A and B are shown apart, each in its own frame.
Chain A
């Protein structure tokens, strides 16, 4: 059983650029959630995708957008990067939108200079 994998593991961008982060969900999971974890804080919910549709969104601006593909893998896109976007971005998959257990990837560490 393959776990949740994220790429890249680390990324450095400059302010104003755009970034795409990728996530492959665990086998059999149709729901993917994205979280942002700033230094010293807990993960903060960005949004969730269920069967290719956005199914809930946290308090993040529209420049944070996402996609889910038919194989349930997912992308997180961030436009017009700001310094405060520097964080660990975690992807989590689950068996369904009502499943309590999120299976997290190791994350992508994004640094915005």
Chain B
């Protein structure tokens, strides 16, 4: 029973266009959400986060949107660059103060085509 779902295993986008990666969750106790990026043969790297008291967080080309009522979040990358090609994981947590039990989705492989 997946608590964090990323229903698109892969996504291809043209360089310069917008990439939108989606994530859905089922556990209403989750109140902190993160996105990680993973290149082959490397560990995941933190990209951006959002807490449930916000509905949007921006960091440069990356914006995360949270819709709590729909239990849905999305990551927007504008403009997309070839270096953004990686696997993107959505992760959620109910508490940051104990155990950091982040629940990860299965990932979406983004390919940005030049």
A105 to B41, CA, bound (A): 10
The proximity string for B residues 91-114 relative to A, scoring 1 for CB distances below 8 Å and 0 otherwise, is 101001111111111110000000
A76 to B84, CA, bound (A): 32
Chain B residues whose C-beta falls within 8 Å of the C-beta of A97 in the assembled complex:
96-100
Q: Give the interface segment out of B43-51, B65-73, B74-82.
A: B43-51
Q: Give the interface segment out of A13-21, A38-46, A65-73, A79-87.
A: A38-46
Q: Which chain A residues numbered 69 to 102 have a C-beta less than 8 Å away from chain B? A: 90, 92, 94, 97-102
The proximity string for A residues 30-65 relative to B, scoring 1 for CB distances below 8 Å and 0 otherwise, is 010101000011111101100000011110000000
Q: Are B43 and A56 in contact (CB under 8 A)?
A: no
Q: Does B89 contact A (CB under 8 A)?
A: yes
| A77 CB to nearest B CB, Å | 19
Q: Are B100 and A43 in contact (CB under 8 A)?
A: no
Chain A residues whose C-beta falls within 8 Å of the C-beta of B21 in the assembled complex:
none
Q: Are A48 and B99 in contact (CB under 8 A)?
A: yes
Q: Does A111 contact B (CB under 8 A)?
A: no
The chain B residues found within 8 Å of chain A, CB to CB, are: 4, 32, 34, 36, 41-46, 49, 89, 91, 93, 96-107
